[in-house]
Chains A and B, each alone.
Chain A
Amino acid sequence: MSDLAKTPEPTKGPADRTDRTAPGDAVDAEQSAAPAAAAAPVDPRLLVREQGFAGYWTEFVRKVRGGELGSLPVVIGLIVIGLVFQLQNDKFLSASSLANIAVFTSGVGIMSVGIVFVLLLGEIDLSVGSVAGVGAAVWAVLSVNHGWGDWLSVFVAIASGLVIGVLHGFFFAKIGVPAFVVTLAGFLGWSGLQIWMMGKEGSINTPTGSVVEDLTTHFFADKAAAYGLALVAVLAYAGSQLWDSRRRKEAELPSRPLSEVLLRTGVLAVLAFVVAYFLNEPKGARGLPLALVLFLAVLVIADFVARRTTFGRQVFAVGGNAEAARRAGINVDRVRITVFAISGMLAAFGGLFIASLSGGATKSLGSGNTLMIVIAAAVIGGTSLFGGRGKIWSAMLGMLVIQSIQQGLNLEGMASEIQYMITGAVLLAAVVIDSVSRRTQKSAGRA
């Protein structure tokens, strides 16, 4: 204590502290009491690089070495899957096969977006399959048996998913029942409700020409649709990046170098237009599926909410350290209830897609492996099971992996038991990659 026991001489106030010169210069040049040697070593990885493309590349390599793989394993996995199946069967990359993947990905993918929110919170929702079933049942009973309007019954179906989610959230957040147990009870209870609602026959067919049928069967045949959407996406992305860069420069903050913005936009453009090409051009192509448009819309909105809004920030905070979030004045209960409501709502929405694909609502819609696929997709896509880390887009990436494998194996005529085993192995691989990369990150001081 004796060293500090002396009154520390008041050093200079903030006024005469020199402002840093270069915005990227994270190391404060100003140095007073501490010996110079103590200040010098700053992890070079953490310095903001600003030297164009080369800098981008070295940073990328450094990140991968440090275990920050991000979406890299999934993207590589997708490429490998595509190559392997294409070599086995050249129908894999055909128009109808790709359209199938897109359509099958959408419904469960939307459910998976809800799960990503729940996982970000560090919780789990085991009820999504049953809630999807209830959503489909509500829609079918209202619109077919009771003759309600198409849109109204769809709306009520989605709203019922939301109410169910609020109920789960209430028991979890306010009563304190573990989410695992609440949603496990929901898993059983709601599927009971679904079976009861479906009545004796146990299935209600989708009326032809209804909104729900259109969900997965409508395609925008006009080629302008797919290309136009790709163009809009690329322009919007580039625009937002450039605008952000400019604002950051104005604020004298480090910003993405132009070369990186161009590179990112270029990659996105290639991807978007290749997909659009395959949806439009090959023989038998039907154009842009409505299902894909809806899925992308959900993804974009959810991603915006998660990364750019206060609510999203609160979800990450509660997932990272709920007590710290509470002390920061965040209404933790409300965040939790809202997240479960989102999950329930998207589950019911996804249920309508499944009904559309399978020709109607049934007693068993959403049972079986739906729940596992939905959770597996989020995890395969790179969202942590332990809360606070993840991306909305992992729902899409993971679901693409799963559906591509299923589609490929279907083309091979492989039985569904094999598909289960392979999907299980992929899930395990994804979690292994996640754990290993997290360990590398720890040893690199980044986690």
Chain B
Amino acid sequence: MIHVSATPVLALRGVSKRFGAVQALTDVDLEIHTGEVVALVGDNGAGKSTLVKTISGVHPIDDGAIEWEGTKVDIGRPHDAQNLGVATVYQDLALCDNLDVVANLFLGSELRSASVLDEIRMEKRARELLDTLSIRIPSVRIPVAALSGGQRQVVAIARALVGDPKVVILDEPTAALGVEQTAQVLDLVERLRERGHGVILISHNMADVQAVADRVAVLRLGRNNGVFDVAQTSPEEVIAAITGATDNAVTRRRARTATALKEDAK
């Protein structure tokens, strides 16, 4: 494993978040160090996206504390998180369909001279960024609405690389991607780690997680359900934590295949 600094760049301490009657997060702890990839896993509705949104300032937290490089910070709106150096790729991508690819990539951090946009510099940089992700987009000047789902996802990922973030959060970044693009994104995650960024990667794909993550943090029903060192943990153990430790998923799957086989046999 890559050497890990002593103070985490980002730490959540006892974070809670409520939506009306739903307690989406209860007392959640999470630490991310520089040069480390932390996978965040859990079932649908476990609270992963909500956790990400509390970090990135979309939903301010109700309780608990967020620490940045050891000091407590208030993240009340997305702007605060960006100023700290958090870049987020949202599950719903959060792109403006009416704007073109370049405008979307640089939205909120436009290259400019005295508030006049420098379109040319932005377009050039956009092409370079998209090239590193090996995506083919007909033109960087067409509205995002005209792109395919995967192309949109790559644009959203490229967005996170525009500034020079310290922590990059990827909420299911490869859900809509093809084999080659998925590989590129996983490469990218590793490159981010090599460059000393902290990465939070949310994924339902255990293979992806195993491939790039250093640690896996499991959320279950809005609570921590264990943090695992990827090198020393089998996927089965993680899956067990995801679905609830008492009820081992592997055994459950075996049971299911067994019954399925039995039914087939009938």
Contact = CB atoms under 8 A, between A and B. Distances in A.
B131 A320 contact: no
B146 interface: yes
A1 interface: yes
| Chain A binding surface SS class | loop
Interface residues of A, number: 59
Contacts of B65: none
Interface stretch (A3-11, A183-191, A217-225): A3-11
B136 interface: yes
Interface stretch (A130-138, A143-151, A265-273, A321-329): A321-329
Interface string B71-107: 0000001110010000010100011111100010001
Nearest first, the 7 A-B pairs at minimum CB distance are A328-B108, A46-B138, A388-B98, A320-B98, A8-B183, A320-B96, A329-B108
B82 A324 contact: no
A33 B179 contact: yes
B116 A308 contact: yes
A316 B179 contact: no
Given A26-B139, A247-B120, A330-B108, A316 B96 contact: yes
B82 A48 contact: no
A331 interface: yes
Contacts of B26: none
A228 to B, nearest CB: 26
Nearest to B53: A327
Interface stretch (B2-10, B13-21, B206-214, B256-264): B206-214
B96 A325 contact: yes
A309 B116 contact: yes
A310 interface: yes
Interface of B: 56, 58, 77-79, 82, 88, 90, 94-99, 103, 107-110, 112, 115-117, 120-121, 123-124, 127, 131-132, 134, 136-139, 142-143, 145-146, 178-180, 182-184, 186-187, 190-191, 205-208, 210-211
A368 interface: no
Contacts of A311: 115
Interface in A227-273: 244, 247-248, 251-253
A80 interface: no
Nearest to A45: B138
A284 interface: no
A201 interface: no
A87 interface: no
A311 to B, nearest CB: 7
Contacts of B97: 320-321, 388
A152 interface: no
A326 B78 contact: yes
Given A4-B208, A28-B134, A327-B88, A11 B183 contact: yes
Interface core residue of A46, A325, A328 (most chain B CB under 10 Å): A328
A321 B95 contact: yes
A21 interface: no
Contacts, number: 157
Contacts of B109: 328-329
A79 B230 CA distance: 71
Contact of A325 (B58, B107, B115, B179): B107
Interface core residue of A1, A10, A30, A244 (most chain B CB under 10 Å): A10
A39 interface: yes
Nearest to B147: A445
Nearest to B180: A33
Interface core residue of A32, A244, A320, A447 (most chain B CB under 10 Å): A320
Given A32-B180, A46-B146, A447-B143, 7 more contacts: A13-B191, A42-B138, A47-B138, A310-B112, A321-B94, A326-B58, A446-B143
21 contacts: A1-B205, A5-B206, A9-B183, A10-B183, A27-B138, A33-B179, A39-B136, A251-B120, A251-B123, A309-B115, A309-B116, A313-B110, A321-B95, A325-B96, A327-B56, A329-B109, A330-B107, A387-B98, A388-B96, A388-B98, A445-B146
A67 interface: no
Contacts of B107: 313, 317, 324-325, 328, 330
Contacts of A248: 120
B117 A309 contact: yes
A327 B131 contact: no
A308 B137 CA distance: 24
B86 to A, nearest CB: 11
Interface string A291-328: 00000000000000000111101001101110111111
Contact of B123 (A253, A326, A387): A253
Given A28-B131, A251-B120, A251-B123, A324 B138 contact: no
Contacts of A11: 134, 180, 183-184, 187
